Amino acid sequence: MYYYVVESVSGGVNSREIQRVKLLLGELGILGEFALASPARSVEELAAMGLEKGFTTIVAIGGGRTVNKVASAIQGHAVAFGIIPLAKDSTLHTLTGTNDIKSACEALKFRRLQAQNLLLIEPNKYLLTGASVHFTKAYSIELDMGEFNVGGPTTDIYFTNGVQTRILNRFAGPNVIARTYNWLTGRSVPTFAESIFHTPRVRLVTPANAPVIAENEIIAKTPIVVRVKHNALQLIVAKHKQSLP
């Protein structure tokens, strides 16, 4: 039994996109119950209602915010989680191995499940799509990664559910004098401004409270502790999608 949580779209459940999705799902024989988010009922509440009603498959229709909220509400429960991204070229399509609405609906019909990790920003923010912190200038930050600590001037920090933390300094590189010298002597030293680490737990401390952003929405403020929750849910993916290691 399929339960579809739909983000607020212009036109509501009668919008063209939702109508097209309903048509495709009907043709595939998996047309279930649709629940549209509104000021009265949030996405999280609708997902919780789906769990209470005993649905075995809960599908998020919309963008990354909707997907993260539904994933956060159902993680840890024995249900299958599906996604129908409404935007083209979405990272959500990459996650599910689909490339448009039609293939996303077909994936739901085929129902191939894959264990999926979630990023957890303690205490209770679960994310499928990752999170980031950005500064307009390079600040000296500190990352505690368990067995080692990392520090240095940073402008951007990215967390993904693939146990990966990336930090970047957009302004890294030789200063004007060094650049001039290199240019005069024909010397070029590439600047490696990006760092990549793989640790299951990270504590981020910044000089001042900085916003943590997921899908263009502020979800927390530093300092934060970020962990990966392994196999937090069963994601429905396209049948041809390669399995995760």
Partner 1 sequence: MQKPIPGPGTVVGANVRLNGVIKDVNDIAVHGHVEGEVISDKNVLIGETAVVKGPISGQIVTVSGTIRGSVEAHIKLELLPTARLYGGITTKELIIRSGALFNGKSAMTADEKGEEEKDSKSKETDEDQEKTEEKPKELEYEREA
Q: Which chain residues interact with partner 1 by CB under 8 A?
A: 145, 147-153, 162-164, 167-169, 172, 189, 191-198, 245
Q: Shortest Cβ distance from residue 149 to partner 1 (Å)?
A: 5
**Closest CB 180 distance from partner 1, rounded Å:** 18
**Closest to partner 1 by CB, 62 or 97:** 97
CB of 148 to partner 1, least distance (A): 3
The three-state secondary structure class of 238 is: coil
Is the Cβ of residue 19 or residue 149 nearer to partner 1 in the bound state? Answer: 149
The answer to whether residues 204 and 224 touch, using CB atoms and an 8 Å cutoff, is yes
Burial of 55 (0-12, 13-18, 19+ CB in 10 A): buried
Q: What is the CA radius of gyration of the chain?
A: 21
Q: Which is nearer to partner 1, 1 or 178 (CB)?
A: 178
- Beta-carbon count within 10 A of 168 CB: 18
Q: Compute the least distance from the CB of residue 98 to partner 1, in Å.
A: 20
Per-residue H/E/C for 75-99: CCCCCEEEEEECCCCCHHHHHHCCC
User: Among residues 167 and 204, whose Cβ is nearest to partner 1?
Assistant: 167
